[in-house]
């Protein structure tokens, strides 16, 4: 796959997943180049860990954004014969497992994160909608509430990975997630009232999207193009995964209610986005992605 084609594809993917429909600002910093570069780098790796799970204390439940992206990306790596685990914390584990199972991954692919990378070091780590610490070392949600008590410091793997030469990517949508530190300067200017909550955690590649799950789906399709095989999200996956994670207790991160929506976007709307992504993928079929 030549670089120019991959970047052109990434540009079209970004137009679907980062059109700033959420009006939260972060997707403005979505760069097709970053999607392309992340796909080119992660496509080469044999062992990947995905870190996800965002707990909403007010609802006493994890949110629906994250598990779908983690499950679809993990499935992509597994189908391609790579090894992949989903790491999360105890509070988000059941929901993460339910999402993985609904996507057809083995359930034990999701586990509580190890305490360090000693003996468990993957070659690459992808954060999806995982809280990233702010400048004061604490974690905040989009309502500016301090959620540190409920947030295991899994973003520290970004620092540990950097010191070990492990490649990292971060996918987020609000600016408070691991990886969004790459856009900090721009986000501070754009969201002056939210500066104290913005994450300082940087990753090698950073993808901002309207919804983090959608950013992960875009990456799975970009990987598919590099691999030359369809490893992305299929029609119906989004609804199936959402129903499973909500049954396991997940809530919409914006409404705080147990409903099959993500950040206020209903399942049917998300399925439409997925079909736009797959229409793009079919257009690129002749250039390398085989499969249905
Ligand atoms: Zn978010
Ligand atoms: Zn989100």
pLDDT tens, 148-170?
A: 999 999 999 999 999 999 999 99
pLDDT for residue 10: 97
Q: Where are the beta strands (DSSP E) in the chain?
A: 47-52, 55-56, 61-62, 83-88, 110-112, 124-128, 167-172, 205-208, 261-262, 265-266
Q: What is the CA(7)–ligand 1 centre distance, in A? A: 25
pLDDT for residue 1: 75
pLDDT for residue 22: 67
Q: Which ligand is nearest to the CA of 263?
A: 2
pLDDT for residue 107: 82
Q: What is the CA(288)–ligand 1 centre distance, in A? A: 32
Q: What is the CA(144)–ligand 2 centre distance, in A? A: 15
Under-70 pLDDT residues of the chain: 22-23, 286-288, 290-292
pLDDT for residue 120: 78
Residue with tokens 């490649």: 167
pLDDT for residue 288: 63
Q: What is the CA(174)–ligand 1 centre distance, in A? A: 5
pLDDT for residue 25: 82
Q: What is the CA(213)–ligand 2 centre distance, in A? A: 7
CA distance 189 to 195: 9
Cα angle 15, 21, 27; round to 5: 60
pTM: 0.97
pLDDT tens, 51-91?
A: 999 999 999 999 999 999 999 999 999 999 999 999 999 99
């Amino acid at each position: 796959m030549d670089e120019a084609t991959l970047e052109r594809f990434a540009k079209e993917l970004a137009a679907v997943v980062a059109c700033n429909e959420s009006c939260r600002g972060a997707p403005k910093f979505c760069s097709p180049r970053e999607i392309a570069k992340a796909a080119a780098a992660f496509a080469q790796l044999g062992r990947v860990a995905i870190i996800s799970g965002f707990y909403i204390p007010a609802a006493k439940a994890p949110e629906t954004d994250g598990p779908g992206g983690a499950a679809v990306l993990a499935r992509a790596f597994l189908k391609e014969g790579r090894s992949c685990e989903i790491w999360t914390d105890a509070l988000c584990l059941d929901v993460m497992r339910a999402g993985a199972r609904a996507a057809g991954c083995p359930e034990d692919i999701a586990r509580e994160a190890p305490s360090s990378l000693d003996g468990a070091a993957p070659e690459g780590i992808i954060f999806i909608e995982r809280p990233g610490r702010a400048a004061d070392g604490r974690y905040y949600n989009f309502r500016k509430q301090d959620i540190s008590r409920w947030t295991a410091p899994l973003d520290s793997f970004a620092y540990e990975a950097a010191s070990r030469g492990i490649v990292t990517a971060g996918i987020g949508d609000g600016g408070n997630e691991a990886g969004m530190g790459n856009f900090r300067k721009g986000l501070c200017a754009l969201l002056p009232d939210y500066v104290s909550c913005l994450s300082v955690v940087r990753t090698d590649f950073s993808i901002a999207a309207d919804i983090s799950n959608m950013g992960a789906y875009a990456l799975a399709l970009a990987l598919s193009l590099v691999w030359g095989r369809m490893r992305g999200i299929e029609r119906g996956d989004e609804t199936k995964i959402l129903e499973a994670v909500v049954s396991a207790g997940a809530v919409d991160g914006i409404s705080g209610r147990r409903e099959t929506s993500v950040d206020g976007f209903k399942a049917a709307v998300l399925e439409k986005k997925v079909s736009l992504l797959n229409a793009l993928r079919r257009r690129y079929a002749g250039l390398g992605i085989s499969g249905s």
